[in-house]
Structure formats: C-alpha cells, structure tokens
Amino acid sequence: MSLIELGQMKYFEPSRRIRKNSDRSESYEIDLPRLDTNRNSIMQGIPKLPLKTLSLGSFFIFILHWLVKFEQVREHGSFYDLNIAVEKDFQPYGMKEPELFPVTGVRRIPKIIHQTWKDKMVPRKLTSWVKSWVKNHPDWEYWLWTDASAREMLADKYPWFLSTFDNYPENIRRADALRYFVLYEFGGVYADMDMESFKSIDPLSLKYSCFLGQEPYEHPVLDSNFEHIVINAIMGCRKNHPFMKKVMESLPDFSHMWNVLDSTGPHFLTLHYRQYQKNNLPPDVDDGVYLAPAEYFFPTIDPAKFFWMRTQCAKFDKLTNIQQKACKSLKVKGIKRTIPSISFATHHWIHTYLDLSITLKGPVEIHTVVPQVKIYKSSKTLS
C-alpha cells in the first residue's frame, strides 16, 4: 500500500487486504476499494444541509423555546422563584386603608352609562359585560354611541372638531376622543365594553364630581419608570366639568402624534390630569378630579404584560428604586390576582382595537342586549 500526503494529513490508501478469521483456520479477502465505493455511494445519497438551513433550523428552535417560555410566564406569571430579597416590613403598591363614602346626598354625576361601538351590532363576547352595567344600575340610562351617532352629535354641537375627528388615522382615536366630548356635553360615566361591573358606582357619583381610573400600579412603573398612569377605559364626570373641557379642547394639538396613547389615549389623559392637578383643587370639590385607586376598576394586571414584567424583574439590580418596588410587589402579591371586594368593576384587557377574535362568535343587536338603550340622533332626540 502507498502513503499519500494531503496537506498536514496522512493516511494509507488501501488496496486489497487479507483478514484472517481468528476462530477458523481459513482466511478470506476483503475488497476494500469496493467497500469504499459503496460507502461513498451511500454518503452521496444523504443530502448535505447547507449552513443557511442549519442556521434557520437553530433559529426556529430558539424561537419555539422562547414562545413556550413566554406562554408559561403569560399563563402562570410566577415571580416567586426570582432572586429578589423582600424586607419583612416591605409595603407593596396598593391601598393602605378603605375609603369612606356617603350613602345619601346630592348626586354630583348624572345617572347615565355611556359605551361606544362602531354600530348597533355588538360582539357576543362583550354582551354579558354590557348587561352587568345595566343590572347594577337599574335606574340609570344606558346610551350607546355608534360611529354614525357620534359624528352626528359632534356636527350638531362641536363642528369645530369635525376636521380633526374625520382625519384621525384609526377608529380607536375617534372612540377615545368621543368619550371626552360625551362626558362634557351630557355628564355620566363612560366604560369600555370590556369593563365588567360588580356593583353600583353610586358611592363615587355622590362623593365626586369627576373621577378617573388608573392602571395597575406596576404597569407604568415597569413600562416607563413613572407612577400612576390615568386610563380612559372608565371615567365619570358631571356635565361641563372644566377638566373635560380642557381635555377635549387640547385634542387637535395632539392629533399629529404618531402613537395613539400619546394622541388621545392614556398618556394624553395622564399629561392633562397632571397639569390640571397644579390647580391644587381637593378631589371632592365641584371642579376637582379624583384619581381612583387601581383596585376600584383595574384590580388585575394585563396578561399581555406578564412576560415583559418577568423579564424586567429578572434584571432587578439594574432597575430604579420604584421599579424594584414594583418587582417586590409582584413577588409578594403575585401577578394573577384575586379581585378584592372593594372593586366596583374590572377590566378584561381585551384590547378590542387589536383583538379580531371578538367578532368570531357573531354580533348581537344592542336592543336585544339592552332594550331601553338610547342612541343619539341628529334631530337632537334620542331613540
């Protein structure tokens, strides 16, 4: 056999070798070149995966692993295993003592429930929550604002806003803006359709002339490193309240904002609430504004934020003081929480402007859900 050198590698080229059977006396020949030929034929039959395919495969395996982990955290949201030390005297975010409400007196907010949808056909998934408001407020009026009736009201009473209203790029901006005008013009309580009522909000309407809700305390802290974000999913105000006037008159100046949160939504509302609070008005005076504790209307954390919060808290040592407090609160209280008895309502975090699945079960005509529903008409009468 001959020696072949290939670069730094050396091997023997086999020709024909004789193998002797150790158990028998005879010997036999093995045709090694033929075996090599057969082996090469077999190897050629196995496809060779290019580097790009292997890289894509590894990437998809990583994504699959990440999605499984994401779903586990989203579903269970456990923070107990995080290496976060919690002091014995630590006070988590939340109410420290119950609030006292009057049981009699002059009502400061009209007994009207306002909700919005694009037309009279309401998704079946939302109907039980709509009914909860009617059930717990039997002597309140229920008004539904459709796209058509909303524009008619604005054309009748606020024509200066129609250009801004019509030029909003998304329907959610029109829905956001409408609620401010409705509360200023008529007064009452606005609630998103994925808000479920647990009990009457009469106590709030007796004590305050205007109240706002805030998201769970941990939301803005871990998202943006600030405390108390005002959310417009539920609000109650008397007619012609100066705060609502300020909000609605500011809408055109923010219409160019790229993000809906900044243009018409919670960030926009939070900014104006903070500016209005510089007047130093007590929340229970006629022109005051009360920011309700998160436990009243938003006692549960948005499941869409579970994974993000877990990811943030895993970097505990790099967080700010208030973010560390939020992570400790999550570890103490958990992320999937029981709704407390003090809650007037809860938000189901459906995100109707993003969730297309709410229409899959078919719509229901609003008069079937709320027979006494009122809908604005341009003739300035109600049907």
202-224 confidence digits (pLDDT tens): 999 999 999 999 999 999 999 99
Q: What element of type H or E holds 54?
A: helix 51-76
DSSP conformation letters of 121-169: EEEHHHHHHHHHHHHH-TTSEEEEE-HHHHHHHHHHH-GGGHHHHHH-S
- Between the alpha carbon of residue 157 and those of residues 151, 217, 282, 342, 373, the distances in Å are 10, 37, 31, 38, 22
CA distance 238 to 96: 28
Is 73 contained in some domain? Answer: no
Is 383 contained in some domain? Answer: no
27 and 176 housed in the same domain:
no
168 and 276 housed in the same domain:
yes
219 and 324 housed in the same domain:
yes
Is 55 contained in some domain? Answer: no
Is 78 contained in some domain? Answer: no
State both tokens at 301. Answer: 């954390």
Taken in order 192, 197, 200, 201, the sign of the CA dihedral is: negative
User: What is the number of domains present in the chain?
Assistant: 2
Is 75 contained in some domain? Answer: no
179 and 292 housed in the same domain:
yes
260 and 164 housed in the same domain:
yes
153 and 247 housed in the same domain:
yes
- Between the alpha carbon of residue 2 and those of residues 9, 34, 36, 69, the distances in Å are 14, 17, 16, 58
CA distance 234 to 113: 10
CB atoms within 10 A of CB 82: 14
264: left (phi over 0), alpha (psi -120 to 50) or beta: alpha
The pTM of the full predicted model, rounded to 2 decimals, is 0.78
Query: Which residues are CB-neighbours of 310 under 8 A, at least 6 positions away?
Result: 73, 77, 79, 82
8 and 129 housed in the same domain:
no
320 and 215 housed in the same domain:
yes
245 and 127 housed in the same domain:
yes
286 and 163 housed in the same domain:
yes
Is 99 contained in some domain? Answer: no
CATH number for position 236? 3.90.550
Is 153 contained in some domain? Answer: yes
Amino acid at 324: Q
pLDDT in tens, the chain (383 residues): 433 333 343 333 444 444 444 444 444 444 544 545 555 554 455 555 566 665 676 677 766 655 555 554 555 456 777 889 999 999 999 988 889 999 999 999 999 999 999 999 999 999 999 999 999 999 999 999 999 999 999 999 999 999 999 999 999 999 999 999 999 999 999 999 999 999 999 999 999 999 999 999 999 999 999 999 999 999 999 999 999 999 999 999 999 999 999 999 999 999 999 999 999 999 999 999 999 999 999 999 998 899 889 999 999 999 999 999 999 999 999 888 889 999 999 999 987 655 555 555 689 999 999 999 999 998 665 55
State both tokens at 227. Answer: 């405390």
Predicted local confidence at residue 21, as pLDDT: 44
Q: Which of 32, 220, 80, 202 is nearest to 133 (CA)?
A: 202
CA distance 134 to 185: 22
DSSP conformation letters of 174-219: HHHHHHHHHHHHH-EEEE-TTEEE-S--HHHHHH-SEEEEE--THH
Is 327 contained in some domain? Answer: yes
31 and 130 housed in the same domain:
no
Q: What element of type H or E holds 30?
A: strand 27-30
End-to-end CA distance of the chain: 104
Q: Range of 289's domain?
A: 112-369
160 and 38 housed in the same domain:
no
